[in-house]
Homo-oligomer: A and B are copies of this chain.
Amino acid sequence: MIRGWEELRADLLARIRAREWPPGGLVPGEEQLAHDYGVARATVNRALQALAEAGVVERRKRAGTRVAALPVRKARLDIPVIRREVEARGQVYSHVVLAQQVVALPAGAAARMGLAAGSPAVWLETLHRADGQPFAHETRWLNLAALPDPVPDFGTVSANEWLVANLPFVSGDMSFAAEAAGPAEARALEIAEGTPLMVIERLTQGLSGPITFVRLCHPPGHRVVLSL
C-alpha cells in the first residue's frame, strides 16, 4: 500500500531495476500508474520527477516516460575549501602567498577565461600547508573587473576561501589530470621534478563574467573522492 510519492518512487525504481521495463522501454503513463497505485496523478508525476532528476528515466511531454537507455552514471564532488579540507583531516592549515601582482592577461589565459588578451588581472601564487607540510600549490588568474577595489588581502584569507564567501560562481568547468611536477611545483611542494601530481584546473563564471582560472597541484598521496 503506497503511502506517498517517496514510496512510489522507490517502488518504481525497484521495478525498473528488476527490468520490468527494459532500458529504452516505455513506462506506463501517469494516469495508468495513478490508477494502478490508487493515488493522484500529481503524486505519480512527483515520483517520476524525482526519478528523472536522478537520471533513471527520461520524460518528454506527450512522449511518455522511458527507462534511460543507458543508465546515467553520475558521480558528484563537493568542491572543498582547502582550509576545510585540511582541517577535516585533523591537520593544521596555513597558507603563504608566494606571488601576487596585477598584470595584463596573457593570450593563453585570456582565451581560457574568455576575456580579451591584455585585460587587467591578478596573478596569484599560493602554497597551502597541512601541519606545515606542503598540501597544494595553487596558481590562479583573477579577473580584476570581478574584484572589489581595493583588491582583498589574500595573505590573510586565501583567495580559495575568499572567493567562496564573496564571489560565488554560477557556472564553470573543472578537470583532473595526472602530470609530472615541473621546476616551480617541485620547488614549492618540496618534491623531485617528475613526481606525479594531481592537477586540478577550474574556471568559474559569475553573474557578470569570468571570475577566476585556477590550477591546483597536489603531491602524491592526495585522493579526490566523489560519491555515486
Taking a contact as CB atoms under 8 Å apart, the answer to whether A220 and B174 are in contact is no
Q: Produce 1/0 per residue, A198-209, CB < 8 A to B.
A: 110010100100
Which of A26-34, A142-150, A162-170 lies at the interface?
A162-170
Q: Which of A63-78 contact B (CB under 8 A)?
A: 70-78
Closest-CB distance, A169 to chain B (whole angstroms):
7
- When chains A and B are docked, how far (Å) is the Cα of A173 from the Cα of B75? 8
- Asked if A21 lies at the interface with its beta carbon under 8 angstroms from chain B, I say no
Q: CA of A14 to CA of B208 in the docked complex: distance in angstroms?
A: 12
Q: Does A197 contact B (CB under 8 A)?
A: yes
Give the nearest-CB partner of A170 in chain B: B17
Contact status A178-B164, CB under 8 Å: no
Q: How many copies does the complex hold?
A: 2
Contacts of A204 in B (CB 8 A): 228
Q: How far is the CB of A30 from chain B (nearest CB, A)?
A: 17
Closest to A201 in B: B223
Do most interface residues of chain A lie in helix, strand or loop, or is the interface mixed?
strand
B-contact bits for A108-139, CB 8 A (1 contact / 0 none)? 00000000000000000000000000000000
| Pair A176/B78 contact, Cβ less than 8 Å | no
Q: A77-B77, A170-B17, A196-B180 are in contact. Are A175 and B70 (CB under 8 A)?
A: no
Q: Are A174 and B226 touching (Cβ within 8 A)?
A: yes
Whether B199 and A178, one on each chain, are in contact in the complex, defined by CB atoms closer than 8 angstroms, is yes
Task: Judge whether B196 and A77 touch: CB under 8 Å.
Answer: no
Q: Choose from B23, B73, B179 the contact partner of A178 (Cβ within 8 Å).
A: B179
Given A75-B76, A172-B228, A177-B224, 13 more pairs with CB closer than 8 A: A17-B207, A75-B77, A75-B79, A76-B76, A171-B228, A173-B227, A176-B226, A177-B198, A177-B220, A178-B199, A180-B220, A195-B196, A204-B228
29 example contacts (A-B, Cβ-Cβ < 8 A) are as follows A14-B207, A17-B170, A17-B207, A53-B53, A72-B78, A74-B76, A74-B79, A75-B76, A75-B79, A75-B174, A76-B77, A79-B228, A172-B228, A173-B225, A174-B226, A174-B227, A176-B198, A176-B226, A177-B198, A177-B221, A178-B197, A178-B198, A178-B199, A179-B220, A180-B220, A194-B194, A195-B196, A202-B228, A204-B228
